[in-house]
Amino acid sequence: MTRFGLLRKTLREVRTSVIAVALVMSLMAAFVIVLYPQFEDSLAGFDEMGFYEGFLGEAGTFASPEGFLSAEFFSWIPLLLITVAIIGGTGTLAGEEAAGTLDLLLAQPITRRRLVLEKAAGLSLALLMAALLSLPGFVLGKLLVDFDIGYLRIVEAVLNMMPVTLLYLALAIWGSAALPGRGAAAVVCIGAVVAAYFLNTVGAVVEVLEVPRKLSPFYWADGSHVMLHGFDPLRAGGLLAVAAALLALAVLSFQRRDIASGGRGISLTRLLRRQAPTPAPANPGAH
């Protein structure tokens, strides 16, 4: 295996997903910015609907550029990046194992630790590229209309999506290393994303969830906080620290894992063969 060969292989495997997500993000960025001036005067009425507080973040109002961009872009666009992270992360180990290619990779002069870390690096780079490719959409939108958020704050808000994305990427890689198969890892990751996302959004309007809400990574990844106050290294650093811990667990789990040649998944063909009746042996004395 050549130097950075795994990284390049990982980038090739997710390039279609990255391009698709980047295109959607860029188009949505331009659309949201161009749309804002058309509805700026009528957006204040939405502030009376408490349900939207979880999407507005610290901006607190739809009528502000920060609140509108937070609700219409940064409240849900990170979920697209996280989806790519889960698909790629669960495929790093369990996916390779199910395809019967993991033992071939490990037959190369490469350690298990390097395999995990280089695949994680490749996926992280792909996700960063997808996030940054949304910036042309913001530039196009600001060229077409007057939108009162500077380019620097927009770049900071885009980069602010990465820590929470990398956290769930690390969780997906850990699930891929520790759980029986890719399906189980995907279920755990999707469940964790859904629970954390709704804890953050519902916790903004339900008083009893005000404190538990702070356990959600999405609470600390609030895009409006960055647009209002600038990039927060403490919030980003905390999320990245959790991601690093999960990645370390993934390395440990993978080093202890027994590799199943041909995968651990249940094969329908094998199942049907097991259930098929065994033909009776021929009677050599019969005429």
In a domain, 199, yes or no: yes
Domain ranges, residue 153: 5-275
The residue-averaged pLDDT of 226-239 equals 95
* Residue 286 domain flag: no
How far is CA 158 from its chain centroid? 14
Structural domain contains residue 55? yes
SS3 256: coil
With a threshold of 0.95, does the pTM exceed it?
A: no
- The domain tally of the chain equals 1
List pLDDT tens digits, range 193-221. Answer: 999 999 999 888 888 988 999 999 999 99
DSSP conformation class of 70: I
User: Is it the case that residue 20 has pLDDT exceeding 60?
Assistant: yes
Of 80, 265, 59, the C-alpha closest to 181 is 265
Task: Round to whole Å and give the CA distance between 42 and 62.
Answer: 9
Q: Which residue has the higher pLDDT, 97 or 140?
A: 140
Tell me if 285 is assigned to some domain: no
What is the model's pLDDT at position 262? 45
Going by C-beta distance under 8 Å and a sequence separation of 6 or more, which residues neighbour residue 156?
226, 227, 230, 231
Position 96 in a domain: yes
In a domain, residue 287? The reply is no
C-alpha distance across the termini of the chain, in Å: 63
| The two structure tokens encoding residue 130 | 């997808």
What tens digit of pLDDT does each residue of 90-135 get?
Answer: 988 888 888 888 888 888 888 899 999 999 999 999 999 999 999 9
CA Rg value for the chain: 23
* Rounded-to-integer distance, Cα 235 and Cα 229, Å: 12
